Amino acid sequence: MKKLEQLYEGKAKKVFKTDDPELYIVDYKDDATAFNGQKKGTIENKGVVNNRVSNYLMKMLEEKGIPTHYVEEISDRETIVKKVEIIPLEVIVRNIAAGSLSKRLGLPEGTKMAKTVLEYSYKDDALGDPMINDYHIFALGIVTKEELDLIANYAFKINDYLTEFFAGIGIELVDFKIEFGKTSDGKIILADEISPDTCRFWDAKTHEKLDKDRFRRDMDNVDEGYKEIMKRLFGG
Ligand code: ADP
Ligand code: UDP
């Protein structure tokens, strides 16, 4: 597998072409951004943590029957993934109120949702990723009803598997964002990443934040959350 030219550099990852037209290589950076890029910084070894954590979780989900883009981890920061056309939706699942939902609905952070909440944002940096509903999605022609049903179904299943897995290592899965993409043969699969950048993880006992909120909220020892997640997943 040859790593060819860089296709894209995002806020957290770079994407490279390979000599296989159906495969890309993603390269995870230590760069961190928040509030739609307004706050910038770096978190030591974040790229290594996110690469390993995301691959571990995608492998687990794949075994449970969720199709993902994961192919092979080739270094600390690099992974071969299936090339997809990203569906421009941020699919957000919430078990406990936090962040923008707490603000929007006036629910104190930590309030358990009586029913799991599913939200969509339109992935468009220039518009600030506005929240949209299924009517907007169909009006914009982003996906069909059947495709959105499949995406929602996957999102709830992923939530069930991940919530159970993280509970087993003493972590509450508060909320998370996932992205899906379409392969060249039209199949919808889970893409992008699942990591402390894209999930809220709280210690089940102390409720300490073990994710990017430490960076968003200018807390001390921003990298400690990432390190702790590594420790709980891989030991050491
Ligand atoms: P952003 O674009 O928000 O700054 P990143 O720095 O994480 O985010 O950049 C990675 C980009 O690659 C994202 O736009 C993401 O949607 C896209 N991406 C993730 N997985 C794949 C894939 N398998 N195929 C094509 N693009 C992907
Ligand atoms: N999230 C993300 N990328 C985004 C927006 C949100 O990964 O561009 C994740 C975030 O880490 C959290 C969940 O989605 O786990 C819900 O985030 P929220 O809407 O509360 O947004 P925020 O508080 O980040 O504005």
pLDDT value at 20 more than 80:
yes
pLDDT higher at 66 or 236: 66
Whether 160 and 168 have beta carbons less than 8 Å apart is answered as no
pTM over 0.95: yes
C-alpha pair distances (Å), 85 with each of 14, 78, 172, 192: 16, 20, 31, 11
Distance 108 CA to ligand 1 centre (A): 32
* Interatomic CA distance for residues 219 and 90, integer angstroms: 26
- Ligand 1 pocket, 7 CB below 6 A? no
Residue whose Cα lies nearest atom 11 of ligand 1: it is: 10
Ligand 1 pocket member 86 (CB < 6 A):
yes
pLDDT for the residue 161? 98
Percent of the chain with pLDDT over 70: 100
Ligand closest to the CA atom of residue 31: 1
Least confident of 32-41, 138-147, 187-196: 32-41
What separation in Å is there between the alpha carbon of 27 and the centre of ligand 1?
10
26, 89, 180: residue to mutate for ligand 1 pocket, most atoms within 8 A of CB: 26
Q: Is 100 in the pocket of ligand 2 (CB under 6 A)?
A: yes
User: How buried is residue 120: exposed, middle or buried, by Cβ count under 10 Å (0-12/13-18/19+)?
Assistant: buried
Q: Is the Cβ atom of 83 under 6 angstroms away from ligand 2?
A: no
pLDDT at residue number 236: 67
**At 182, is the pLDDT very low, low, confident or very high (cuts 50, 70, 90)?**
very high
Which atom of ligand 2 is the closest one to the Cα of 198? 7
